[in-house]
Structure 1
Amino acid sequence: MGALGGYADGQVLTDGNQGSIATPRPINPSTSTTNPSARETQNQNPYLGSVPTGPVTSETLSFTLQQAVGRGLKYNLGLIDSIQADAAVRAQRLRALAALLPNINARAQQAYENISYSEIGLKLPPIGGFTIPPTSGAFGFQDARISATQSLYSLELQDRYRSQKILENASLLNTKDSRDVVVFAVGLAFFQVVASKARLETAKAQLASSKELDSQVSNQYRSEVSPEIDAIRAQVERQTAEQRVTNAANEFEKDKLTLGRIIGLPLEQNFTVFGGEEYRPLPDIAELREQQQALGNRADLASAQQTVRAAELTVNAEKAQRMPAFSLNGNYGTGGTNFANANQLYEASVGVSVPIFTGGRIKADIDQAEADLDRRRAEYQDLEGRVKYDIRVARLDLASSESSVNVAANNKALAARALVQSQDRYNNGVTNYLEVVQAEETLAAANDNYIQSLYSFNVSKIALARALGNADSRLNDLFGGN
């Protein structure tokens, strides 16, 4: 899927001449907690962060997948950012609407003036030997008015408003799509915790078995029934099992921190998860039907379609700059030497504005808008193909991982039987302890393969839910529970 950008198809770790395939793991924000790396991780993928909310209690909280997703949908940073982006787009729509609505202002003033006749070009000859003074002399007046301006007709402003209104709808759809991304992010982290928990429990069971065998072999060595080499091997196996428990517990705690960061839990709050350990087959749905559902349900696809329509209206708005625009201006009030002796004042005018020469600015605006429209159309067509691609890839991963689960479960049972037989052979003196050690390692590998296969299967189901859209409503069908 690539929504989190935290998985590799396969990472090869080389140790000398030996190579092994590392288990794919999600991005772990616990490895980037110092500036500037933490801030960069947040900027690159806000869905790995959250707003920690709630008091820290001494009790250990428990979360199912649905409960973890529900908390993520409240406190995940990516979704919060998307909701705030809605508010910004809504403000742009209101700004475009304001250009179409009347603008009304009130103004009152007390003025004192002394007018120069020569400044305004007034020249009066002397009358009867009397010379007109060069200024009017100081005088004052009071004036209070209400003024209004209104766009009567502007196709440009109308199309810009329609474009912003559609962009607001597109932003709301983006927020809906962000919910699906949160479900995907929480699902990945949740099942990583489930897998780590299973590995820890398996490591503890192997430690208990290693301790029992170590005690048994030590007694046989002291009784001179088994050679010292068997006792040494048993001790090494027990110490190795102890270290495996330590490592598994460490990974379990780190994976819990990752999940807690995504769903908004304070880092000090202890919690665990339950559910997700069992294999639950996927309901049988035809792929063609899934594609039809996704094309109708994917909010990001609907948002891209709305963005194309908004870009078309923007092109129309740029072209409409060449059209006449009509406006109404007026004011009404009173004025005079004082308000007690004021006279009624008013003014009304209708104006028309027609661009004659703009130096090519309108042509440049149109070209830019058309280029943006072509880009939006290409993005929509690409996204439509990617939706089908996501479903196909999720289905292929499901088929592969489901087969791996069945094979791993069978191998796990066979490895357990082989260990029992090796222990019986050793107790009866038919073989040495090396065969028992090899059987234990085979069982450990079989258990880890089963855990990893089940994890991959559950992640593939989460990816399918994301690909189909409305991911949170599909969890009960895919994983059971309420």
Structure 2
Amino acid sequence: MQACTNRLCFACDSAFSSPVIDVAAVYNKRLFKMRLLALLLLWSSALGLSAQTTTVPTKPLTLEAALERASSANLDLLLSQEEVEQAKATVGSARSALLPNITGEATQSRSQSYFKLNDQIQGSAITNSFSALLQARLAVFDYNAWSDYSNAKLGVRVAEAQLEETVQDIWQQIAQTYLLHLRNQRQLDVIEAAIQRDQTLLDQAKERVDAGVASSLDLNRAEVQLATSQFQRLEQRNAAYESELTLKRLLNLPLGQPVELVDPKLTEAQPVSYNDTEMQQILDQRASMRQARLNIERSENSLRSARGERIPDVTLSGNYGTSGDQIDDDNEVWAVQLGVSVPIWEGGRISSQALQARSELRQSQLQMQQTAQQIGVDFRLAVDQLNTAREQVQIARRRVELSRNELDLARTSFEEGVADNSELTDAQANLADAEDQLVQAEYSYNLARLNLARVRGHVQELVGR
């Protein structure tokens, strides 16, 4: 039988094929099968990859929505809320020392005893006993317990004031990061526009060099300008990506979720000035000042509590129940006790605690003065920075107008052949720098408004909430 000469014939692999085996044909058929299998694997992988890379729709995020989300999503804020809950639980624990403590106790026992006579065991006896008692204890007068309860209630108010300050701090941080990311995106747009102008200038330089009306220096100058702008674009992309990740972390958003920010279009504020009346209103309204005053009140309570260690404590206790040999015996038993505890000698502990409490009181008073001074400094700086930033925005806008006029004049001179592209290159660079400065000035202005709102204790007023 003659062997099949077709090396791609799959019939040759059957049991009825010729015993003469063509090694090359077998090898080629196996190679064909392997290639077909690899092609199928690549095709299935491509389908799976396309299914996994489904684009996530971008959700617009306003500044007001970002601040609202912080209350339920920011991890630092959630931690501060738990501190308030812990302070409330401390109040319940302190109050329990002023209320009756009642416990129930039931005991059933069985014992065997032996009795001797002349060192000889004469017999034994088995006894049973059962008792069921309700035991109660009440602090009729405990000065320290009352002080602890009062301090615990003050602790809740302190924690709530601290939470209010934390909310303002987190809102400020979120708003600052939001504005920062908007600035980074706008600066990236400025660079993209500059690259388009640089690319147009480069194309013109190539055409003029090819036409023999410009030198290679013009071409090299345009290429350098384009490369500089492209390098700045890479740096700005990294800055925008970093600010985007920071904002997502603050809002507890998935890091891979696209976010589109909405420019809040903040209205321009009127010039502000420092005055003592508003300063006093800020001191009266700020949660940090309220917290400082509460800390002074807690320190005063602690000092009174330390001195009250010498006051006697009066305790009432008692029990009531049944007792007998068996569980069904009904023998009534009860007891009532009234106790008085008076410290006579405690080794100087009370005096030391009073000295410590007095020092903590002075410390709280100094901290309140320090807080008031810091608020005063922050208020003066915020007012000055806002007025300065407002003027800087006006100057930056004027510079952009002048730079655009300069670019138009330089382009006209270049197109008419009066000058080479050096003036046009400089004019484009000046315009890009002026637009970038305007973006930075507007960001600084919004940031100054944010800082002033934070000093006043109302960050939400930035978005009209």
Note whether the superposition's TM-score is higher than 0.5. yes
Relative to structure 1, is the Cα distance of residues 112 and 272 closer, same or farther in structure 2, using a 3 angstrom cutoff?
same
Task: Give structure 1 stretches of 5+ with no counterpart.
Answer: 1-55, 119-125
What is the distance in 2 between the residues matched to 1:360 and 1:115?
51
**TM-aligned CA distance change 1:435 to 1:100, over 3 Å:** same
Determine the C-alpha separation between the residues in 1 that align with 2:122 and 2:333. Answer: 29
Task: Give yes or no for the alignment of 1:373 onto 2:371.
Answer: no
CA distance in 2, matches of 1:107, 1:196: 71
Q: Which amino acid aligns with 1:101?
A: L
Change (3 A) 1:258 1:110: same
Task: Please list, as runs of the form range in 1=range in 2, the aligned pairs for 1:321-470 lying within 5 A after superposition.
Answer: 321-470=309-458
Does 2:459 match 1:476? no
| Aligned pair partner of 1:71 in 46, 69, 79 | 69
Q: Does 1:99 align with 2:86?
A: no
Give structure 2 stretches of 5+ with no counterpart.
Answer: 1-53
Percent identity of equivalent pairs: 25
In the TM superposition, residue 199 of structure 1 has moved relative to its aligned partner by 0.4
Letter in 2 for 1:86: V
Per-residue deviation, 1:276: 4.1
Q: In structure 2, what is the Cα distance between the partners aligned to 1:186 and 1:214?
A: 42
In 1: Cα distance, 2:169 partner to 2:270 partner:
21
Give the distance between the partners of 2:70 and 2:251, measured in 1 at CA. 4
* Separation (CA, whole Å) in 2 of partners of 1:429 and 1:278: 45
Are positions 1:237 and 2:225 aligned together? yes
CA distance in 1, matches of 2:199, 2:246: 33
The 3 A distance-change label for structure 1 pair 132 and 160 is farther
Distance 2:345 2:463 in 1: 64
Give distance in 2, aligned partners of 1:57 and 1:109: 71
Displacement of 1:470 after TM fit?
Answer: 2.8
With over 3 angstroms needed to count, the CA separation of the structure-2 counterparts of 1:168 and 1:136, relative to structure 1, is farther
Structure 1 consecutive aligned stretches of length 4 or more whose deviation exceeds 6 Å = 115-118, 130-136
Please report the TM-score for the alignment, with normalisation by the length of structure 2.
Answer: 0.83
State the AA in 2 paired with 1:432: D
Q: Aligned partners of 1:369, 1:235: CA distance in 2, in Å?
A: 73
Instruction: Supply the distance in 2 between the matched residues of 1:286 and 1:62 (Cα, whole angstroms).
Output: 38
Instruction: State whether structure 2 residue 91 is matched by structure 1 residue 89.
Output: no
- CA distance, structure 2, for counterparts of residue 140 and residue 278 of structure 1: 86
Structure 2 contact 184–240 (Cα < 8 Å) conserved: yes
SS of aligned partner of 2:140: strand
1:288 and 1:374 mapped to 2: Cα distance? Answer: 27
The structural deviation recorded for 1:135 is 10
Give the length in aligned residue pairs.
412
Secondary structure at the aligned position of 1:138 is classed as strand
Distance 2:384 2:350 in 1: 51
Partner Cα separation in structure 2 for residue 443 and residue 178 of structure 1: 42
1:65 maps to a residue whose letter is L
Whole-Å Cα distance in 1 between the matches of residues 363 and 210 of structure 2?
80
Asked if structure 2 preserves the Cα contact closer than 8 Å seen for 1:256 and 1:272, the reply is no
Please state how far the C-alpha of 1:158 moved relative to its aligned partner. 0.9
Aligned to 1:308: 296
Kept in 2: contact 1:114–1:135 (CA 8 A): no
Q: CA RMSD in A?
A: 2.4
Q: Which has the larger radius of gyration?
A: 2
**Contact 2:292–2:368 (8 Å) recurs in 1:** yes
Output the amino acid matched with 1:360.
Answer: G
Check conservation: 2:286, 2:457, Cα contact below 8 A: yes
Q: 1:168 aligns with which of 147, 153, 156?
A: 156
